[in-house]
Structure 1
Amino acid sequence: MSESSASSRQEAADPRSSLPLMQTSFQLLSTSTCPEYGRLDELHKLSESCCSSDAFERIDSFSVQSLDSRSVSEINSDDELPGKGYALGPAVLGSTPKTKTMESVEGKAEGEADGTLVAPAEEAEMEESGRSATPVNCEQPDMAVSPAPVGEGHAVLHKVAGQGEAAEAQPEALAEKEDVCKTVEFLNEKLEKREAQLLSLSKEKALLEEAYDNLKDEMFRVREESSSVSSLKGEFTQRIAEAERKAQLACKERDAAKKEVKNIKEELATRLNSSETADLLKEKDEQIQGLMEEGEKLSKQQLHNSNIIKKLRSKDKDNENTIAKLNKKVRDLEEELQHLKQVLDGKEEVEKQHRENIKKLNSVVERQEKDLSRLQMESGELEEKNRSIQAALDSAYKELTDLHKANAAKESAAQEAALNRDVKAKEELSAALEKAQEEARQQQEALAIQVGDLRLALQRAEQAAARKEDCLRHEISELQQRLQEAENRNQELSQSVSSTTRPLLRQIENLQATLGSQTSSWEKLEKSLSERLAESQTLLAAAVERERAATEELLAIKTQMSSVDSQNSLLRQENSRFQAQLESERSKLRKLEDESNRYQVELENLKEEYARMLEETRREKTLLNSQLEMEKMRVEQERKKAIFTPEAVREKERKPLSVSSTPTLSRSSSISGVDMAGLQTSFLSQDEAPDHPFGPMSASASGGTLYDAVRLGAGSSVVESLQSQLKLREGEIAHLQLEIGSLEKTRSVMAEELVKLTSQNDELEEKVKEIPRLRAQLRDLDQRYNTILQMYGEKAEEAEELRLDLEDVKNMYKTQIDELLRQRLS
């Protein structure tokens, strides 16, 4: 970009350096093609109108290019276009031979580098009126006068304007280039920081995923241990039931043994043989001893089983606590992982946005470079066109000014209409966005109410399950207490059992057989009940798993809702920020419009003053022309009198000093009294009207006599003063041109602001286009939430059915235990 700007500046400087040669060639062309004064005056008018209309045409082209390219750099490059205007060195030829004058002018144009002065080939040295005997000389050639100061003033003016525009364009291009480089460096640094953050976040994510997998494995292991503990628990409950059954059988055997002992005692009382009774007593003692040993073994085994059950229960509690801790830890890790995923997604989106911004900046830089090269080519073409069409711009000056005013009015109206459309569109978008936000808020409130109801239902279900678990634990403790009491009673019975006889053993065997059949039937019944219990437990586990999945989905929905809320808040913030920017841009636009109106009023005033001064100059010019004609007629009459009166000539020869000085002095006094005032006013009017620098030349070139030359020689001091005034006027013109340039810059700034507002409007439209997608996502979330609610209702119904089944099983166990107790008591 810097190379292209440097090349454009070099190209802009080269045509300016070649301006003097072009000016000299144009002067030669004007002297060769316009030998007469009238045609030369028309040529000067044409050249001056070309310069002014060229300036207005450049202003119009700048406005069109600024609206098309919408870039400050393009306007700055357009400001560097050469060919702002060319100063023409006019030449006025009299009645002398034209070939000699052309040769002398061409020699001077080739010899001098500035090309602003055209010297005559023959310059007749004029004698003062006091030294010559004759006041006029009819055979002297006419003078070729070149108004060098006027041409130099125009050339200096255009050079200063070109250098000022180049100096203004160069720092602007450098500042823009530095801003673009700084933004690119800042974005690169920010991108590197984002990449480092992404790497650290990816590492943390990998570590968390590894920890999450380890915790999952540990949780599965704990679940397997809990399942093994539950299986052991079921096995020990079966053993406890068997022990209870054995205790009941032992109670029955004890009662039967008591009856047998009574019978034996009665038989012993009836019997008289002591030896047989002693043998029977020994046998019974041995049997009782064996039964006592078996009872001790059973009691020890029961104690060992109870200890194992206690240990397993404590281990089960520890496992449950560890499972709860691990579940809590897993939930925390899942939440942290979800948060990190959201953060990572946000960072990725920000990185994508930065990459897109960098791409956009690169594309803008490339486009500006292409436009710069295109503008350079167009500047060359425009230079050629300016050289070719400078002869046809005088008639189009007024039309261009009218068109420029109409174009400015149309542009302002179009900008106002575009701004009104943008404001209306933004208001409609803000209303639609607020409506969508209100709908999302209502839906969010409804979802929050439904989630609260689900939480309450879940808490009630958990409380009911906890109550059921407490009841079951209480029942198990009661059963264990009963078992302990039965074991104690069994030990007491085993100690109190006395010696019995063989019939008692037979009865015991019969009772054992009946007990075996009953136990087999009870085992079948218990097996069926245990199978039903296992099925119910599996169903309960499945229901718990489904409930957990539903809670996880609910958490996911909550996170999505929170993300949607955050996006909604961001959209609101952006909308408010855009509205504030719009208000500030409107205020800036109003200020710029006020300034432009003020500048237009000042420009109109300057134009009116310029037209007034031009009219006064023209009136003074006509007055001076009339006075000059009168003086010419008077001089002709005196010359005729001098020719036809030889006596007056002889008297002048006798008295050369006295006689020749008086008419000369009188004539010079008349010149200084009448004509010098008119000449001074004509020069002043010419200084105030730079569009017609050939005005005084008409008075000086039309009279080629010695009298006119003397009059021009007497006004050299006036010419010097007029040159200083001309320079002051040129400074004022340069100041006005600078003001015009500042107005053009303000217009370009307004165009840039309009481009920014349109880009912001496009961004808002894109965000509005995303609203249907968000609504579709919200509808999907509603559908998923409804399906989850339906699944939760189904699972709640299944859990209720399982609870009823468990209550039925508990009631069955209670009835069986009551029946056993009644049988034992009976």
Structure 2
Amino acid sequence: MADDVLSRVSQLEKELDISKKELEKRIKHYEAKLATLTVINGALQQENDQLKEEAESYESHGDDSKASRAEQELAELQEEFTKRLGVAEKTAASMKEQVFGLRDEVKVANGRAVEAERRAAEKDVSIKQLQAEGVSLSKKIGELEGFLRKLRADQTSWESERERLNARLQVMEASARSDELNRSADVEGLRHDIEAAKQANTELKEFYTKALTDAQAHEQQELDRLRQQTAAQSAAAQTRLAEQQASYSATISSLRESLASAQEDANRREDKLLKELRELEARCRAAEAAQEEAAARLTESTRPLVRQMESLSLQLNQRDHEADLKQQQLEAQLSKAELEAREAVEERKRAEGLANAAERRVHVAEKAAAAARAEGREAMAKVKELEEKVQTWRRECETALEKAQQANRERDEALGALTVARLAKEEAEKREKTAKLESRLELDEERKALEAERAALNEHRPRGIPLTADTSFSRQGSRDFNGNAVDEPPSPTSSTASDYTSESFGSPNPGLVKQGSRRFSDGLEALGRNLTGGSAAMSERLIAKIRQLQGEMGQLQREVQAMRAARERESEELGKALARANSLEQDAKDSPQLRKEYAELKKRHDMALVIIGERNERAEQLEEDMNDVKALYREQINLLVSQIDPAKWPNGYRICLFCSHCAQIHKRKA
């Protein structure tokens, strides 16, 4: 598109240069014509003065008949010269008007050239802006594709890890059930203890389940906020394409802040979990010490049970070690999932308060859910508005296409009109050439007739009349408009009107100007000979014929000028139609591209939301699996402790080893 615009601008510049050169040539030609007419006017006035002097000499020295004849000739000459002087003045005035009109046309052409250059510069700027926006959009699309690939890779790794953990959990549950069956066959009196331990475990499970529910609600709240915020951002980016760069930069900064806050939250949670693990290890070591003391006090009859418990404790330690490794892996995966799920979350400054007070978190979660619903409604309204705008754009594109087709039809019509004007111009030129040939032939015939009549008049002329007018016209015919002597033309058969018409369409040439002056002088010479010879009818006929030819040539010139003006108007209209067609074609090309980009962004946004939801579900499942493993280990530890020393915890009381109260009781009794 830019190349087409530049080529059109260069073509317009070339056409303007050509028109400027043509106008300058015409101006110079008209100025030369004006100078020639001025010189001819001066020559005619000089001849008039000479004739007046001769008339006065006739009146002073001649008789009455000669004086009356001289007066008659003088009156005729004065009338003829007055007419010719009026024609010359009118021609000079028309020349001046044409010169001024051509100067105005040059100014208008310069203004059009400046306007075309300005429009070309504006189109270049808009093209560069569109190219920059395309580059930025391609970069953003590449970043989103990389992020999606990373999410898919993490998804596959999490699924494989989950399957592996489920398999190991099933194996551990089967081994735990088999151990419980074996111990129930040997120790039936521990049922009450087991029920009490189950009750304690149930309470702990409810506590952790409640904490997990609160955490899930908080995560769901953050996820809803993330979804609504992402939907709002995509809607705003689609409605205001001009502000995409600013919105993306703001989103990136907010994402960085949220990432930093999420990292801080993950670090705090990691520290908390490590602290709990240390407490668990301390309690396990305390339980092992108590187990060793109880084993020392047991009798020989309880040694098989002690050995069995030692083997169980070894297995428990091994399982604890494996559970710690699994827990660390799960915590690492959970932290990664939390970080990736919270990439687009803003302002996490109240995370500590939400973690310490469950009720406050629930209240804030309800408020956030209400706000998220409101934002969702707003986002749906914005999406509807966007859909309406897209439909409006589609209608505008269809209208633009129709206008472009109409502009193409107008351009075809303008081209047809230009073709008709060109044919009319060629026809006018043919008629002009034909008129020139006819005028030349007629002038040749008239000149031959005048020469024959002149020869006859010279034979019958009285001897007492001098040929002053003849000699003056001969002198004037042998000189150019600067007063320099020139040679006679080889074929002086063309008239002044034909020279004027032929030279008005070409470039000014001094030789042609001199030749026209010589031909005009020759015509004046022949006219003077005719007048002095007494053939007034022939001279009037010749003058009438010349005027008729001048009128016809002037009419042809006006028709040619009108055709040129029509051609210029049609070319201007054609240029405007082409500009409108180009702008409409550009709009028609831009609107489908924008719709396509909007559809791609919306599709990627939906895919990102689906992936984030799947990650949250996997994180919740991993947390549930980890809580179940912790509960299973807790039940096994309580069972072992109750078997070691049932006297310390009468009535089936069980130490949970995971709360500070039970740990303090155990320490006092020890």
| TM-score normalised over the length of structure 2 | 0.40
Q: Which has the larger radius of gyration?
A: 1
| TM-score normalised over the length of structure 1 | 0.34
